[in-house]
Amino acid sequence: MPVLTYRDALNQALREEMQRDPNVFLMGEEVGVYQGAYKVSRGLLQEFGEHRVVDTPIAELGFAGIGVGAAMAGLRPVIEFMTWNFALLAIDEVVNSAAKMLYMSGGQIPIPIVFRGPGGAALQLAAQHSQAFEAWYAHVPGLKVVAPSTPYDAKGLLKSAIRDDNPVVFLEGEMLYNVRGEVPEEEYLIPLGVADIKRPGDDVTVICHSKTVAVALKAAEELAGEGISAEVIDLRTIRPLDTDTILKSVMKTNRCVIVEEGWPFCGVGAQVAYEIQRGAFDYLDAPIERVTGADVPMPYNKHLERAAKPAVSQVIEAAKRAAYAD
């Protein structure tokens, strides 16, 4: 099976969907001539031309609005934000227009649009460029929110997102673009709303997504050396949330650790914890543990930045507390 980087898997997904459906087009900052700020759109301008790979000014509100209008007219836009930190300027179009139009039109006007780009912290990009916004967008009815962790998942989920008739917020981990993994040559789709068990286990469930999947898997490996078997669940889609997979795992292990890059207050993990206590309270043998980013703006200093991100050691400590092995 071919091994691709995360960025090349996304590139394949875009190319295949643009070849399959002439209504699919890509629009955003530097997606064309520059081949994409992170080279996800490499080669697409040459293959599909400037009418389907559209470079825009640095005006997120403007080109997001054009995308929403195009979706209302029956096209399938893929809107690339250079970073989700910049997309705050377009949140009116994402939240007030894309998310609400189907409902406000009484089901008459679907909005088949994907908003995609990198999110979360990279390396020393400081507070304004290091934010994980999954919880923000997942809060909004009408939006689907996707955060893949591997090249395989990134390709399959992006293809499904492009084919979906609803607006999809597609958050790519900024530090994942060079991650490599196996991606089948044959076409495949991964349905939105289905989590994946990345590592089976019996003693504690570790729930994560995007960049924290690698953190959780490394922690699970170290825990195994100490006799603790951790089951790692990659949410993949934040909304809709695969509650069934979460509950089945917790009912088996009776313990849970939730790991996310975002801030703790009103975070993704808060919703997951609610679903667990509502659906599997009687199965819990210990309080649910959460490991999150620090509740501060992201520091620029590299040592402080490292301390503000979820760490393998924190996941191990949380799992041991949940298993009463600390």
**Which pLDDT does position 85 carry in this prediction?**
95
Q: Is residue 293 part of a domain?
A: yes
- Does the structure show a pLDDT above 90 at 1? no
Please tell me the distance from the alpha carbon of residue 75 to that of residue 244, in angstroms, as a whole number: 34
321, 286 contact by CB (below 8 A): yes
> Are residues 87 and 30 part of one domain?
yes
Q: Is residue 187 part of a domain?
A: no
- Does the structure show a pLDDT above 80 at 20? yes
Number of domains in the chain: 2
173-230 pLDDT, tens digit per residue, is: 999 999 999 999 999 999 999 999 999 999 999 999 999 999 999 999 999 999 999 9
> Are residues 164 and 98 part of one domain?
yes
Q: Is residue 189 part of a domain?
A: no
Mode of pairing for the β-strands spanning 76-80 and 114-119: parallel
Please tell me the distance from the alpha carbon of residue 95 to that of residue 180, in angstroms, as a whole number: 33
Q: Is residue 235 part of a domain?
A: yes
Which whole-number Å values give the CA distances from 234 to 38, 212, 213, in the listed order? 24, 9, 6
- Does the structure show a pLDDT above 90 at 118? yes
Q: Is residue 188 part of a domain?
A: no
Mean pLDDT of 238-244: 98
Give every CB contact of residue 113 below 8 A, 6+ residues apart in sequence.
67, 68, 70, 71, 76, 77, 78, 79, 98, 167, 168
55, 29 contact by CB (below 8 A): yes
- Give the percent of the chain with pLDDT over 70: 100
Q: Is residue 191 part of a domain?
A: no
Predicted model pTM: 0.96
185 belongs to the catalytic site: no
> Are residues 167 and 20 part of one domain?
yes
Does the CA dihedral 17-18-24-28 come out positive or negative?
Answer: positive
What CATH number does the domain containing 213 carry? 3.40.50.920
Three-class SS state of 3: strand
- Does the structure show a pLDDT above 80 at 312? yes
Please tell me the distance from the alpha carbon of residue 199 to that of residue 83, in angstroms, as a whole number: 30
- Does the structure show a pLDDT above 90 at 325? no
- Does the structure show a pLDDT above 80 at 262? yes
Confidence band, pLDDT 50/70/90 cuts, at residue 326: confident
Q: Considering 16, 29, 51, 60, which one is annotated as catalytic?
A: 60
Domain of 66? 3-182
What CATH number does the domain containing 161 carry? 3.40.50.970
16 belongs to the catalytic site: no
> Are residues 299 and 150 part of one domain?
no
Tokens coding 299: 């520091």
Tokens coding 132: 């994980």
**Which pLDDT does position 153 carry in this prediction?**
98
> Are residues 261 and 220 part of one domain?
yes
**Which pLDDT does position 305 carry in this prediction?**
95
Q: Considering 129, 222, 275, 317, which one is annotated as catalytic?
A: 129
> Are residues 59 and 208 part of one domain?
no
Confidence band, pLDDT 50/70/90 cuts, at residue 17: very high
How high does pLDDT run on average in the chain? 97
